[in-house]
Amino acid sequence: MGQLSTIDYAVFLFYFIGVSAYGYSVYRKQQKTKQNTKDFFLAEGSLTWWAIGASLIASNISAEQFIGMSGDGYRYGVAIAVYEWLAAISLIIVAVWFIPIYLKNKIYTMPQFLSTRYNETVSLIMAVFWLFLYVFVNLTSILFLGALAVSSLVGPDSFHPVIICLSLFAIFITLGGMNVIGYTDVIQVLVLIIGGLVTTYLALQQVSLTFGLDGGVLSGLGAMFKDADDHFHMIFSKPEASAPQAEIKRYLTLPGIAMYLGGQWVVNLNYWGCNQYITQRALGADLKTARTGILFAAILKIFMPIIVMLPGIAAYVIHKNGGLATEMMRNGVVSGDNAYSAVLTFLPTGLKGLSVAALTAAIVASLAGKANSISTIFTLDIYQKYINKTASESRSLWIGRITIVVAMLLSISMAWSDALGIGGEGGFTFIQKYTGYISPGIFSVFILGFFWKRTTGAAAIAGVLGGFGFAVLFNNFAPQLFGPETLMYSAFPNSDGVYEIPFLISMGWSFVLTVALMVLVSLAGPKINPKGLEIDASMFKLAPSNLAMAVIVIMLVSMLYIRFW
């Protein structure tokens, strides 16, 4: 039986009509001038800094955060916020050092960068890698988790209809191009922030009432600190061999201080700096606009755990003290990924509709952004290069639109019966873990390509393939081949009794070994590489306003780590 009333549906319908109408008005406005591929894929020169920043957040905050990170908040607590707070620092690095290189070299897609810096072979390999990753991991995960959350509120038999509706809404927005996506994302961010804050506010009130307090937000937060102290620490200690399985699983997901030595930086810098889905928002702007937008996103990112993590901890405390007994269940078992939708049951009529609109805003924005990136890579880096080199602008635009529809159909087919087992892994962890198989290789190729002129095309190919090979070795075979305890890692038995290395540790070592492999291959090549990038120190100089934004971010993150260490 659904939890939404007629008023909730009316609120949601108002959101749907409002976003659709605004998106259509932006589309009609851009049709007054002849649209080309750069307009469609990049919204070249038309996105303001605040639209870029909002679009970055709207595209990033989706079902894997609302559902997956809230679920990990239920399981692990504030430690999962590392992905948000280190992302803010990573965005500073991207704004200062990565974006100037892209813009100076007129880079519009990540495979284009690889072609410019290395060769077409590297570009093609990575274009295919990204397309598979975006369709079969990211797009499918967002759709599955989003449909799971929304259907838990609409009704148990609505999962498949919700998948169709989310997909159609995303296709509608995406077909207008990046300009429509960018500006509708501004509305989506406002809706998800307002709706998310309302949900968190009422969840904290419910925590307060659970302990017989005054129903205030501050008293609820204080009660959470006392009742779930273990959920308010950023760093987990390495478990003993005899530790309970829950403690081992927690460390396998977030392996204490060790994850800050490599794995977390690979995750964040690869995602925010070497990812078409994200960088695409800034690649059509000038340097100052792009930088300001990215730093604005960094500031917003710091506060996202309030929306996507705290409700999960609130659900943990309430359930621990006898509440949400049925709401947390899935197939007869308590599931952390039900935490966010369980908390939504506390919302009164009307506000449930607003929170569902916020959740839908996050899902649709991410689906649209991901579909646009898939379309961009396929059209510009595969279709125009290898299938139809003389394709006209109009034909390329239609190919881009067809690609969007095909990608969405593929993700629907995979999400329909959870063919990838996303529900079993835990949504947020699933995406991080499986993206981690290619992140070390990709990031190695980009970072050496940026800053070491001698890096060769042969080294890049070795890096892409070697990075994947090292990731497979550490994630699947190393404990059996070399034992569970070595100087490089400590492996622990998972719930199936199989020894497993924390995937963030595996990612860090895969990156280190991939860089070493690339350096060796490059040293065997020519001393002067004509494709090395020219770097001017003036490219990295920040305007005073940008410097102030970066300092604010660093100070806020430092304060949070001091408080929750």
Q: How many domains does the chain have?
A: 1
Q: By mean pLDDT, which of 184-188, 265-269, 442-446 is the weakest? A: 184-188
According to the model, what pLDDT value does residue 1 have?
A: 40
Q: Work out the pLDDT band at 325, boundaries 50, 70, 90.
A: confident
Cβ proximity of 160 and 498 under 8 Å:
no
For 375, the token pair is: 């379309």
- The CATH number given to whatever domain includes residue 416 is 1.20.1730.10
| pLDDT above 70: percentage of residues in the chain | 91
Q: Mean pLDDT throughout 52-75? A: 80
pLDDT of 333 over the 80 cut: no
Q: CB-based contacts of 212: which residues, under 8 Å, 6+ apart?
A: none
For 3, the token pair is: 């939890």
pLDDT of 201 over the 50 cut: yes
φ/ψ (deg, to 5) at 500: -140, 140
What is the rounded CA–CA span in Å between residue 110 and residue 132?
15
Query: Is position 403 within any domain?
Result: no
Beta bridge mates, 334: 329
pLDDT of 2 over the 70 cut: no
Q: Under DSSP, is residue 329 helix (H, G, I), strand (E, B) or coil?
A: strand
For 243, the token pair is: 């530790």
pTM of the model: 0.85
pLDDT of 302 over the 50 cut: yes
Beta bridge mates, 499: 493
Q: Mean pLDDT throughout 216-224? A: 91
Query: Is position 96 within any domain?
Result: yes
What is the rounded CA–CA span in Å between residue 493 and residue 496?
7
Which residues form the domain of 146? Answer: 6-25+37-238+279-385+408-424
According to the model, what pLDDT value does residue 466 have?
A: 95
Cβ proximity of 145 and 422 under 8 Å:
yes
What is the rounded CA–CA span in Å between residue 6 and residue 121?
56
Quote the DSSP letter at residue 414.
H
Q: Mean pLDDT throughout 521-545? A: 87
Across all residues in the chain, what is the average pLDDT?
Answer: 85
Query: Is position 524 within any domain?
Result: no
Amino acid at 19: V
What is the rounded CA–CA span in Å between residue 297 and residue 272?
11
pLDDT of 144 over the 80 cut: yes
Query: Is position 518 within any domain?
Result: no
Query: Is position 327 within any domain?
Result: yes
Q: What is the pLDDT of residues 476-489, one digit of tens each?
A: 899 999 999 999 99
* CA–CA distances in Å: residue 168 to residues 96, 156, 162, 177: 37, 20, 10, 15
Query: Is position 217 within any domain?
Result: yes
Query: Is position 125 within any domain?
Result: yes
Query: Is position 12 within any domain?
Result: yes
Q: Mean pLDDT throughout 387-398? A: 86
What is the rounded CA–CA span in Å between residue 210 and residue 121?
60
Alpha helices (runs of H) in 377-502, residue ranges in sequence order: 393-415, 422-425, 427-435, 439-451, 457-472, 478-482
According to the model, what pLDDT value does residue 134 have?
A: 86
